[in-house]
Structure 1
Amino acid sequence: MRDQPTMRIPLGILGLLAALLAYGIAVATFLPPLIGNWPTLLQTVVYVLLGLIWLLPLRRFLIWMETGRWG
């Protein structure tokens, strides 16, 4: 447990929000022209998968916010 507060947590939260905003804008901008004519169920599967993909690097990022190490 930390004794002193660090700037990693507020900066990490701001970085996470910025990255999620950029990811969301990229998905909303570039994906509809590619899959807009697909069946609705298939589009739903693609959007659900893309909605979960951003979680993959989150564990290491949260570890870095708490400890300062990536592993």
Structure 2
Amino acid sequence: MNPSWRKPVGMLAILLLITIWCALIVSFSATIGGWHPVAQLVFYLVTGIIWITPLKPLLRWMETGRWR
């Protein structure tokens, strides 16, 4: 069985996704820093979970070569 090129490409895509997502969230830190601490907690919890959403199709593609 030959190794697939999709796995290294997928891993790089995941790292790129995480980097872009972190940079986007950090860019809002000055605004969010002025919020009530509970609102900050909710925001960071939600944004910490949302980035996982595009991983399922990406991981499926890495394994099977299909998006659906």
Same fold (TM over 0.5): yes
TM-score (norm 1): 0.87
| CA-CA distance at 1:12 after TM superposition | 0.4
Structure 1: 4+ residue segments shifted above 3 A? none
Percent identity of paired positions between Structure 1 and Structure 2: 37
- Where does the alignment leave 5 or more consecutive residues of structure 1 unmatched? none
CA distance in 2, matches of 1:19, 1:55: 10
Could you tell me which runs of 5 or more consecutive residues in structure 2 were left unpaired when the two chains were aligned.
none
Which residue of structure 1 aligns with residue 10 of structure 2? 12
Which residue does 1:52 correspond to in 2?
Answer: 49
Question: RMSD of aligned C-alpha atoms?
Answer: 1.0
Q: 2: distance between equivalents of 1:32 and 1:10?
A: 32
Deviation at 1:19, TM superposition (A): 1.3
Structure 2 counterparts to residues 1-71 of structure 1, below 5 A: 3-29=1-27, 31-71=28-68
TM-score, normalising length from structure 2? 0.90
